[in-house]
Structure 1
């Protein structure tokens, strides 16, 4: 397929997403099944067009004067992919699979730029109602943070130190030109491409099948390292999910001590069993959800890690459709869930134990505010010095702007080149 045909397909997929209110991945899969003539390169390009349109939906719509799928996809082709508007119109006329050629008004709009008078939420490409929260979190840099969150993410991997070393993983994946991550000591990264570039499929690589590495954003690796799990400890991973951070904790503990992996959702927990086996993690005991699943652990844990359910605002680069589905009601729901889980999690700590609170959110309501509320109810907890923790973990000074006013650590694409993550490490007296 040539570009005009790909643009037409992307408009169809985005229309499907908008009208049927279904996830982008599901709409793309359905399109591929109904158009089997399309090759892997075509499917990747169409997916890139749709995701890029959603990442910068607000600013693209402002340029085009509307947010229809056609307007958004045309804006991506010109503003993000660098095509000349008139040349694009000419190519449409010569391709029977192309959308209707751009009108003179569309061509004029595609050649325009956004001025400083445009609302900040539009320039940041975020829902207008979250702008005050982002301004509170990031001050004068909040628009720049939003812009960075509207880019494409890199593909990051974590070397499984139980089975391999980073140099071996780099060599195994040399055909993809991988690089060591800037912060995470075991990380490997492949920077995001542009235009119709394809993301490497590393899960078919021999190293992945042997358990040498896991796909894990560098930000997730960083907060797992900051959790500080040590060999021989008793650790509860209270919201283990599919086990990404559980695996990182097991490797950090060198398979010594015990990790109890629990999640209240049985389906989220299901993938962990195969992943533990592939990674060679032997110090993990999975606790399936049931009323008394953790009763024997109360007051006995050295460390409780809570990777709390959240809005996922830190993953907007990877799941941009969720950005525009966010509501104040959803934020309030997640905040209530987090408060309940924090109150539950502290019960399992012994005196002097460590509580690690993690979210993949950039909203202060879910981060500093949540920790402040917890500390008010539990004055026997105090934050570990964030700058000292970073220095001790990575051997380098903490990057500027990363330590929050509430004593936590906030990672973002702009500050650390990662997804958005928050971690606050609290110690019980």
Structure 2
């Protein structure tokens, strides 16, 4: 059974919605109906609901512990929840929806396969709904699911749903969203969350859980270009393995196999893959996002921050970066500012050459006169780094196309970037 669970497909998805759209209730419903909570947890929630005079079980209480932590002043960027069904494992990144937490949403959505945006059927699309869709598009999240919640409060009206569906689909057509699904739900009553709703016979699509279990994500992986950033050089000290030399890291793209001819960047030295190891066995191949140790047939100079790739399919080697940057600290990003930059496993220093424009994520308007980026703002920035980085456009590879900016004085992450070209 353990092996079956380990081999199951994993879907990461980020949830986003306004404060009263029912996000906590929906997550609670998914956890409850997928049997991902303990009986004592459910009993506690039921008891609390009764003590408050509710005539229903308030599933939002399953995540209220996190909210109370925020009220106590504890910083939580993104709350992660884990659960599994017989078909798939899931990691939920529960991201705050308010504009002041844009940086938190960027953090949670940056590694997600799917973005789940909630809207209240009574309110329809709001400015926040559009902003969430724009952010998910900027972060190249390949699948977007719009859940029109609280359908029970509009008497499961088909016209209300279709109006929101049409309006959002029209807006999404202006964005880079490859796959969009719109589902009417009631998180409180359970309609169309795990099972199809009898209250909405006019809706013929999948339930929310069915879509999450079956959305195809294998083709989303960066399989075209072999990218293996070296994180650590493995040289055991024991006499038994004194000749062993391997390079540990996480595959960022493509498929690695023994016998493949590869090049190490930035040196340009070539070799052949002798073997690929996990801690307990050798592998016939490795692909993203597996963490492995690669052995080469030749004793070439390889160190942390280098990248192994195929000889005829190389990333760009550049010291000039053109990127969309989300700024994450109160002091603004300005031209001539000096920062540390971390790209895959390589760290360098960078200087801000120019802030070309600030992007209004509500209207997609480009403010060319901005000149700087304030907290939670996103804009197009030109950077110059001290050492060449091996990069791909973010739309081609979300790992080699992204980076973080670090304040050298404090060590805090102050920005996240997505490389344009």
| TM-score, normalisation: structure 2 | 0.29
Q: Which has the higher helix share?
A: 1
Q: Which has the higher strand share?
A: 2
Q: Which has the higher contact order (CA 8 A, sep 6+)?
A: 1
